[in-house]
Amino acid sequence: MANIIDGKAVSAQVKEDIRIETEKLKAQGIEIGLAVVIVGNDPASQVYVRNKEKACEAVGFNSYKYALPEETTEQELLALVDKLNNDDKVDGILVQLPLPKHLDDKMIINNIRPDKDVDAFHPVNVGKIMIGDYSFLPCTPAGVMELIKSTGTQIEGKECVVIGRSNIVGKPQAMLLLHQSGTVTICHSKTKDLKAVASRADILVAAVGRAKMITADYVKQGAVVIDVGMNRDENGKLCGDVDFESVKDKAGYITPVPGGVGPMTIAMLMKNTLTAGKDHHGVK
């Protein structure tokens, strides 16, 4: 039976460290602020934004929420982003995706100041991740790295396979593993004999968006298996990309869904916001 990697416990520790550091900054008269912008009424987005507000409260950040109606124009949204870019109280800006269809996600993200882009989606930050000279990391891949670290597994020299090539998870995840000297393979829908490639992995990260696709025959005995997927199974129950029941007896370590990668994403957003705030106030 695999060791279960408890994302709730790891994220609680990350947030506690941030809370302690935030208190010390407050004692020096420095406050950290995160602005979250949500457009429209997408229920999943509403939940995410609420969770981000709660996390800000838990670590001691000021949280500024801007809830805009569905029919907000691109000009109106860009004007708000510009205002937040120039607001000294705001250290981090997050525009909740997806935006309504009439708004251009890419254009909005490209207008966020890179030093306030705590999602690390701006092309400047993406480029910095590529060359290994970054201030922020995309929250989910950064969370995955923390979970791997929590197992005591050394990434250096290990065979690492990432299934999925999205700009938000797959590609940056591969870069982070590479920066730690892992030997990295990125797999996707056109990969030939995916099972054979995946089953070589000492560290397997599944970020493909297909419920329970990764079964035991994709997994090497004793591997670290990180499940980034967030899906619903045939009964409407939350599940990941990994078929937990069949894989848990073969993996050495495995993340559950829910309670694995999910809690880490918001914890790493808090970490990015703290980094931004310290940079803005010249704190080393």
CATH topology for 28-113 is Rossmann fold (3.40.50)
Q: Report whether 25 contacts 283 (CB < 8 A).
A: yes
What sign for the dihedral angle of Cα 224, 230, 231, 232? Answer: positive
Q: Which of 128, 139, 151 is nearest to 204 (CA)?
A: 151
What percent of the chain has pLDDT above 90?
95
pLDDT tens profile 26-68? 999 999 999 999 999 988 899 999 999 999 999 999 999 999 9
Residue 174 CB-density burial (10 A; 0-12 exposed, 13-18 middle, 19+ buried): buried
Q: Which residues are catalytic?
A: 52, 96, 119
Q: In CATH, which superfamily holds the domain spanning 139-262?
A: NAD(P)-binding Rossmann-like Domain (3.40.50.720)
* Tens-digit pLDDT string for the chain (284 aa): 899 999 999 999 999 999 999 999 999 999 999 999 999 998 889 999 999 999 999 999 999 999 999 999 999 999 999 999 999 999 999 999 999 999 999 999 999 999 999 999 999 999 999 999 999 999 999 999 999 999 999 999 999 999 999 999 999 999 999 999 999 999 999 999 999 999 999 999 999 999 999 999 999 999 999 999 999 988 889 999 999 999 999 999 999 999 999 999 999 999 999 999 999 999 98
Domain range summary for the chain, segments of one domain joined by +: 28-113, 139-262
d(CA 185, CA 188): 10
d(CA 167, CA 27): 39
The model's pTM: 0.95
Packed helices 139-150 and 170-179: angle between N→C axes, nearest 10 degrees: 40
